[in-house]
A and B are shown apart, each in its own frame.
Chain A
Amino acid sequence: MTTASAVAPPPSRESRERVVIRFAGDSGDGMQVTGSQFTLETALAGNDLATFPDFPAEIRAPAGTTFGVSAFQIHFGANDVLTAGDELDALVAMNPAALTMNVDDLRRGGTLVVDTAAFTERNLSKAGYAANPLEDGSLADYRLLKVDITRLTEEAVKAFDITSRDAHRCRNMWALGLMLWMFDRERQATVDWLTKKFAAKPAIAAANVAALHAGHAFGETAELPSQLGAYTVPPAPVAPGRYRAVSGTEALAWGLIAGLKAAGLERMVFASYPITPASPILHTLAALKSYGVITFQAEDEIAAICAAIGASYAGTLGVTSSSGPGIALKTEGLGLAIATELPLVVIDSQRAGPSTGMPTKTEQSDLFQAVLGRNADAPLPVLAAATPADCFAVAIEAVRLATTYMTPVMLLSDESVANASEPWLLPDVAQLPRFPVRFRTDPAGFHPFSRDPKTLARVWARPGTAHLEHRIGGLERSYDTGHISYEPDNHERMTKVRAAKIAGIAQDIPLQTVALGEDRGALAVVGWGSTYGAVQQAVREVREEGRAVSHIHLRHLAPMPRNLGELLRGFEQVLVPELNNGQLVHLLRAAYLVPAEGLNQITGKPFKVSTVAAAIRERS
């Protein structure tokens, strides 16, 4: 039966299990905002997702240059998504530089959307193209969609009283609109966001909204080459409850507040000095002053940790945050906090180094610094966050250990976990752990280094408490009185007590479990921190091939869980993937004498699942 119709049927949408797309453009093109809004609409559509923002250190590098390219990648799917994806199904390239820097990650047959207006001779030459790739057939492997986004945007916004510069800046919303149509997402949350963001400039808000709708309408009405198609990605089957998209930075900030409340403390003093990529934590907490947070932008990294130490001494929760080079500057302060046994949370958002290195690129190379990097015998607990949402729980755990054991705690995050985001099932606040602090108030038998016999934590007596006036400092102190002591045996005793206190934390943390697989077998893949997703997905894939491989992922890096040695000895081989030149592998070999070997990548980029999976296959 045939039916004649004057109206073309709506394009039938092809259903996809999972999709990886990337927006790439100049650092001034608003690609991070575009990606974030696509993420939000995707989260609201019920997909699981993982993101990877990738931007240059230069704030506004010269337009059109390859080193000024900023990109945002999102992987979303109808079942659980663990990484930002190995290769792209779709790439939006706003100019030739964005194309040349990203096209190699696009899979053959993938969709490539370009703004033809940006492919001028000048821009082509800046990107190093001798000929226009849109015309010379070099992109024949991809489904190329050439659109004059610039002109279409200008047309869409011409009704509004805005400058041509502002009109040009609406291009990203046009591109977003098209991609939202292509993958069957809503637009309302973005409209709301634009309206709020440009509340003071209604014409700009309206122009951006118009560009967004125009991009969407282009998809709906234009006669797109049929093979480009339109897709839909069904919602992921997830546990029922209320969700939101959360970045590692947000989860960390909220986790610190949750920890503050769990400890029953009224106030946190968060002292920090601006550094990439740690600054967003300061920005996030600075806007949360009604939650007991005082933020302090110190004059340098040293002042930041010292102010946090002063705040802890005065009976609040001192927190400081930085990245590797800044943590190095804080080292002497860490020694003081260890010696005076004051609670402190130190967040290290790791980046590629040494020295300035590659500030906006990710790495896991501060593990040695966190665990070992101090003068003298100066142990402290070290934790690492595996995913953006995991930052929440790890921050609470850091506050618990700091206040329960009167010690600085190092929390390792990194550039990718801090900036990435994922859907998060909101926890029931009433069910969160509680570990109320008990300040010392009783003068009977008081001295400042009297200890809890179980935890070995010293008492916390805050200034303002009558009859507990006391002096502490960096000089070694007597175990029995807290007064200055140069007694040789006392120093040895105090060193051992400080070490035993931290080692004892192993009795107060969960036994190490296996994240996937059996607790013994041919090969254990041991990860820590932000490599969780890539390792988990890789182990999943090789297990489907029938290989006896398990994934173990460490949250507690010092002290390590008390059963870890026994667990590792249950495997014939141990593979340790890390984004560094081999650090955890060294600690594991030293601690447990296991034949662990490293899988190391030091490119400033997260692992691809395929890289980890290939290394596993070589060994199983």
Chain B
Amino acid sequence: MTATLPPPARAPLSPKDYASDQEVRWCPGCGDYAILKAVQKTLAEVGARPEQTVFVSGIGCSSRFPYYLATYGFHTIHGRAPAIATGVKLANPDLDVWVITGDGDGLSIGGNHLLHVLRRNVDVQILLFNNEIYGLTKGQYSPTSRPGTKSPSTPGGSLDHPVSPCAFALGAGARFVARSIDTLQAHQVDVLKRAHAHRGASFVELFQNCVVYNDGVFDDFTAKAVAADMQLPVVHGQPLLFGPGGEGRRGLRLLPGKLELEVVTIGEGGITAADVLVHDETNRTLANLLVALAPSRFPMAIGVLYCDPAPSYEREVHQQAAAAGPPGSLHDLLQKGNTWTV
């Protein structure tokens, strides 16, 4: 009995095998280096075949990413990577496509395309590097900058309200929403592997520190001194606990009588581990509550916040095309309908 033959084997690849021969040109200390490393490690761990893998990016610091990977890569135009990636998947659904974008690229000039690639559920992994600033154009505030951000274009502080990338993704109908932090190497790799395994559009917000224009903007939850207290790593089926272990460990529960979360401390006021909410990544309502948590009142939720797969767009498009019938001939097409002979 014969089974389908596996693809021609290439020797297992290590993370460095996914590095291209191009010199990396980000600023020293940029969070992008750590993300690049995590992506290379992820590719190695999932056994990605370089010839089947395509990285598509827009414009901005993050969008240089494809040049540094030894896969197929397309550095496109500002904000449009999701649309180009959609075309790639429509042309060849078997390709493994990653979209690399940033807060300006993905949520300002390209907000419309991000909305639609998510709602269509095209099977791509979208990594949005959020540094809350425009780096490549030298430090203007971005759509994720907090109110009052001083920048060359907002010397008196920015006035407009920021967009939350994960809330946007959920609102757009994304079926996979996750978060990680540039400095958390192992956590990032776990999240990226989950994103890769997910069929359909997977959206990952990566908090990325811009050392030049917005250094330390995430210190309220990433600085070593506060990290344990201010990060909530969510795991499906596990209680939403954070902070140091043992007595005094904190968790989240639903505030009785309200559709809100509150922080509780185990052992205080009769609170036990059983009172703490258990993470259910298929629960969209819970995901909406988790993405809204922010320091200083709450920890920052990271990990897979929401995952509830549905058939991907390009697969359904091709199924519909296949159902249209066997390949037709041009001759028959032209002869169809009303013709006459002279």
Whether, in the assembled complex, B3 has its beta carbon less than 8 Å from a beta carbon of chain A, the answer is no
Whether, in the assembled complex, A238 has its beta carbon less than 8 Å from a beta carbon of chain B, the answer is yes
Residues of B within 8 A of A336 (CB): 76-77
Q: Please tell me if the beta carbons of B70 and A469 are within 8 angstroms of each other in the complex.
A: yes
Bound Cα distance A444, B265 (Å): 64
- Identify the stretch in B174-182, B203-211, B323-331 within 8 Å (CB) of chain A at 4 or more residues: B323-331
Whether, in the assembled complex, B91 has its beta carbon less than 8 Å from a beta carbon of chain A, the answer is yes
Q: Please tell me if the beta carbons of A290 and B75 are within 8 angstroms of each other in the complex.
A: no
Residues of B within 8 A of A288 (CB): 328, 333
Bits for A239-252, please: 1 = Cβ < 8 Å to B, else 0. Answer: 11111110000000
Closest to A342 in B: B74
Whether, in the assembled complex, B115 has its beta carbon less than 8 Å from a beta carbon of chain A, the answer is yes
- Identify the stretch in A124-132, A309-317, A549-557 within 8 Å (CB) of chain B at 4 or more residues: A309-317
Whether, in the assembled complex, A263 has its beta carbon less than 8 Å from a beta carbon of chain B, the answer is no
Q: Please tell me if the beta carbons of B337 and A473 are within 8 angstroms of each other in the complex.
A: no
Bound Cα distance A539, B318 (Å): 51
Which of B66, B92, B113, B325 lies in contact with A314, CB distance below 8 A?
A: B92
**A309 → chain B, closest Cβ, in Å?**
6
Bits for A255-279, please: 1 = Cβ < 8 Å to B, else 0. Answer: 0011001000001010100000000
**B336 → chain A, closest Cβ, in Å?**
9
Known: A44-B340, A307-B87, A426-B339. A299 touches B113 (CB 8 A): yes
**B310 → chain A, closest Cβ, in Å?**
19
Residues of B within 8 A of A257 (CB): 330, 333
Whether, in the assembled complex, B73 has its beta carbon less than 8 Å from a beta carbon of chain A, the answer is yes
Bound Cα distance A243, B56 (Å): 47
Q: Please tell me if the beta carbons of B341 and A306 are within 8 angstroms of each other in the complex.
A: no
For A289, A304, A427, which residue has the most chain B Cβ atoms within 10 angstroms?
A: A289
Q: Please tell me if the beta carbons of B91 and A473 are within 8 angstroms of each other in the complex.
A: no
Residues of B within 8 A of A242 (CB): 335, 339-341
Residues of A within 8 A of B263 (CB): none
Whether, in the assembled complex, A303 has its beta carbon less than 8 Å from a beta carbon of chain B, the answer is yes
**A422 → chain B, closest Cβ, in Å?**
14
Closest to B336 in A: A244
Whether, in the assembled complex, A86 has its beta carbon less than 8 Å from a beta carbon of chain B, the answer is no
Whether, in the assembled complex, B86 has its beta carbon less than 8 Å from a beta carbon of chain A, the answer is yes
Q: Please tell me if the beta carbons of B51 and A463 are within 8 angstroms of each other in the complex.
A: yes
Residues of A within 8 A of B67 (CB): 471, 473, 484
Bound Cα distance A46, B342 (Å): 8
| A–B complex contacts, Cβ < 8 Å, 5 sampled | A289-B320, A306-B87, A309-B76, A310-B56, A312-B87
Q: Please tell me if the beta carbons of B91 and A269 are within 8 angstroms of each other in the complex.
A: yes
Q: Please tell me if the beta carbons of A473 and B75 are within 8 angstroms of each other in the complex.
A: yes
Bound Cα distance A294, B92 (Å): 11
Bound Cα distance A309, B128 (Å): 22
Q: Please tell me if the beta carbons of B75 and A244 are within 8 angstroms of each other in the complex.
A: no
**A520 → chain B, closest Cβ, in Å?**
36
Known: A261-B330, A332-B77, A474-B75. A43 touches B90 (CB 8 A): no
Q: Please tell me if the beta carbons of A310 and B75 are within 8 angstroms of each other in the complex.
A: no
Whether, in the assembled complex, B163 has its beta carbon less than 8 Å from a beta carbon of chain A, the answer is no
Closest to B120 in A: A299
Closest to B20 in A: A471
Which of A40, A238, A318, A464 lies in contact with B52, CB distance below 8 A?
A: A464
Which of A289, A306, A340, A483 lies in contact with B22, CB distance below 8 A?
A: A483
Which of B69, B87, B325 lies in contact with A309, CB distance below 8 A?
A: B87
Closest to B52 in A: A464
Q: Please tell me if the beta carbons of B50 and A306 are within 8 angstroms of each other in the complex.
A: no
Q: Please tell me if the beta carbons of B84 and A313 are within 8 angstroms of each other in the complex.
A: yes
Residues of A within 8 A of B112 (CB): 299-300, 303
Closest to A236 in B: B342
Bound Cα distance A484, B339 (Å): 55
Residues of B within 8 A of A484 (CB): 22, 67
Q: Please tell me if the beta carbons of A307 and B94 are within 8 angstroms of each other in the complex.
A: no
Bound Cα distance A464, B54 (Å): 9
Bound Cα distance A606, B26 (Å): 57
Known: A189-B338, A254-B330, A316-B91. A473 touches B80 (CB 8 A): no
Residues of A within 8 A of B341 (CB): 240-243
**B330 → chain A, closest Cβ, in Å?**
5
Closest to B78 in A: A332
Which of A244, A292, A306, A470 lies in contact with B84, CB distance below 8 A?
A: A306
**B282 → chain A, closest Cβ, in Å?**
27
Residues of B within 8 A of A302 (CB): 80, 83, 113
Tally of A interface residues using CB under 8 Å: 72
Closest to A302 in B: B80
Bound Cα distance A484, B22 (Å): 9
Whether, in the assembled complex, A15 has its beta carbon less than 8 Å from a beta carbon of chain B, the answer is no
List of 6 A-B pairs having minimum Cβ-Cβ separation, nearest first = A310-B87, A473-B75, A307-B87, A306-B83, A314-B91, A471-B73
Closest to A339 in B: B77
Q: Which residues of A contact B (CB under 8 A)?
A: 40, 43-44, 46, 189, 235, 238-245, 254, 257-258, 261, 267, 269, 271, 288-294, 296, 298-300, 302-304, 306-316, 318, 332-333, 335-336, 340, 426-427, 429, 432, 462-475, 483-484
Q: Please tell me if the beta carbons of A315 and B92 are within 8 angstroms of each other in the complex.
A: yes
Whether, in the assembled complex, B95 has its beta carbon less than 8 Å from a beta carbon of chain A, the answer is yes
Which of A300, A310, A471 lies in contact with B91, CB distance below 8 A?
A: A310
Residues of B within 8 A of A471 (CB): 20, 22, 66-67, 69, 72-75
Residues of A within 8 A of B75 (CB): 471-475
Bits for B46-77, please: 1 = Cβ < 8 Å to A, else 0. Answer: 00001110101001000000110111111111
Q: Please tell me if the beta carbons of B76 and A463 are within 8 angstroms of each other in the complex.
A: no
Known: A258-B330, A313-B88. A299 touches B115 (CB 8 A): yes
**B60 → chain A, closest Cβ, in Å?**
12
Q: Please tell me if the beta carbons of B88 and A311 are within 8 angstroms of each other in the complex.
A: yes
Residues of B within 8 A of A296 (CB): 86-87, 90, 317
**B301 → chain A, closest Cβ, in Å?**
29
Bound Cα distance A40, B340 (Å): 11
Bound Cα distance A481, B88 (Å): 24
Q: Please tell me if the beta carbons of B321 and A289 are within 8 angstroms of each other in the complex.
A: yes
Bound Cα distance A462, B94 (Å): 13
Bits for B106-150, please: 1 = Cβ < 8 Å to A, else 0. Answer: 000000110110000000000000000000000000000000000
Bits for B6-28, please: 1 = Cβ < 8 Å to A, else 0. Answer: 00101000000000101000000
Given A470-B73, A473-B76: 9 more A-B contacts, CB < 8 Å: A257-B333, A269-B87, A300-B112, A303-B83, A310-B86, A314-B92, A332-B77, A473-B66, A473-B73
Bound Cα distance A186, B329 (Å): 31
**B339 → chain A, closest Cβ, in Å?**
4
Residues of B within 8 A of A316 (CB): 91-92
Bound Cα distance A251, B90 (Å): 25
Residues of B within 8 A of A466 (CB): 8, 10, 51
**A151 → chain B, closest Cβ, in Å?**
32
Whether, in the assembled complex, B334 has its beta carbon less than 8 Å from a beta carbon of chain A, the answer is yes
Closest to B67 in A: A471
Bound Cα distance A483, B8 (Å): 29
Bound Cα distance A309, B10 (Å): 30
**A249 → chain B, closest Cβ, in Å?**
14
Q: Please tell me if the beta carbons of A429 and B330 are within 8 angstroms of each other in the complex.
A: yes
Q: Please tell me if the beta carbons of A426 and B317 are within 8 angstroms of each other in the complex.
A: no
Bound Cα distance A469, B49 (Å): 10
Q: Please tell me if the beta carbons of B51 and A269 are within 8 angstroms of each other in the complex.
A: no
Residues of A within 8 A of B333 (CB): 254, 257, 288, 291
Closest to A432 in B: B330
Q: Please tell me if the beta carbons of B51 and A468 are within 8 angstroms of each other in the complex.
A: yes
**A185 → chain B, closest Cβ, in Å?**
13
Residues of A within 8 A of B330 (CB): 254, 257-258, 261, 291, 429, 432
**B12 → chain A, closest Cβ, in Å?**
16
Closest to B55 in A: A471
Q: Please tell me if the beta carbons of B92 and A463 are within 8 angstroms of each other in the complex.
A: yes
Bound Cα distance A474, B71 (Å): 18
Closest to B65 in A: A471
